[in-house]
A and B are shown apart, each in its own frame.
Chain A
């Protein structure tokens, strides 16, 4: 089983649609959770961190369910500029609360928003 699993998609949605991505992780010692977006042939860029209480940033909402080891990202009112690959990322907790410094990436979910 992969450490971080995502539905690779692709998701093709019209502008204005709401789309949700899911991600599961296998290691219960995981410490921090993030969503990154990656445009074609570019570096990943941090979209948002994911907190246990859930968090929202404009049109984007992230949820974390530690019991189910599940992370989600909801995008409302999709824009053409949201087209990208969305990467689910977790880090492991090490001794003393530090992480091992290792981000574990899912393979990414491709989103295409069309007019």
Chain B
């Protein structure tokens, strides 16, 4: 059963703590992405990776870090430097970034709340 999984579904963090959100896909997709969504707003790109061991900053990368050591995994760390981390975090993947392969499919998301 192919798809994208994210864990945990809900995460609570104290201020000053780093947390890591998991994203795994078994679709054999080359490209993976992280977005955040705030209430009433569209999705904003945090980081993306087009290939293993390579990734690029998106529009709002400050306070976040990622790694892409395996094709199927793209974890996101929310660091204490992120000033307003409470949000809905969505991971996505696509076959590639060329025309016809750039359709992105999303995981179920992680809701992060900073207490």
User: Is the pair A99, B98 in contact by a Cβ cutoff of 8 Å?
Assistant: yes
User: Interface residues of A: mostly helix, strand, loop or mixed?
Assistant: strand
Q: Which of A41, A45, A91, A103 has the most chain B CB atoms closer than 10 A to its own CB?
A: A103
The answer to whether B108 and A102 touch across the interface, beta carbons within 8 angstroms, is: no
Q: Is the CB of B102 within 8 A of A44?
A: no
Q: Which residues of A contact B50 (CB under 8 A)?
A: 101
Docked CA distance A91–B43 (Å): 13
Complex: chain A residue closest to B32, CB-CB: A101
**Residues of chain B within 8 A of A106, CB atoms compared:** 42
> Out of B43, B44, B97, B109, which one reaches A42, CB within 8 Å?
B109
A97 near B: Cβ within 8 Å? Answer: yes
Q: How far is the CA of A42 from the CA of B96 in the complex (A)?
A: 24
Question: Which of A4, A32, A108 lies in contact with B99, CB distance below 8 A?
Answer: A32
A-B contact count (CB 8 A): 64
B107 close to A43 (CB less than 8 A): yes
Contact present for B106 and A45 (CB under 8 Å): yes
Residues in B with CB closer than 8 Å to A44 are: 43, 90, 106
User: Is residue B105 within 8 Å, beta carbon to beta carbon, of the partner chain?
Assistant: yes
Chain B contacts with A in 19-74, Cβ cutoff 8 A: 31, 33, 40-45, 48, 50, 56, 58-59
What 1/0 mask marks residues of chain A from 67 to 95 whose CB sits below 8 Å from any chain B CB? 00000000000000000000100010110
Q: Are A101 and B48 touching (Cβ within 8 A)?
A: yes
B interface residues with partner A (beta carbon < 8 Å): 31, 33, 40-45, 48, 50, 56, 58-59, 88, 90, 92, 94, 96-99, 102-109
7 residue pairs of the A-B complex, CB under 8 angstroms, read A32-B102, A43-B109, A93-B99, A101-B31, A101-B56, A103-B33, A103-B104
Please name 8 further chain A to chain B contacts, defined as beta carbons within 8 Å, in addition to the given A45-B106, A99-B97, A102-B58, sorted by A numbering: A34-B103, A43-B90, A46-B103, A94-B97, A101-B56, A101-B94, A101-B102, A103-B104
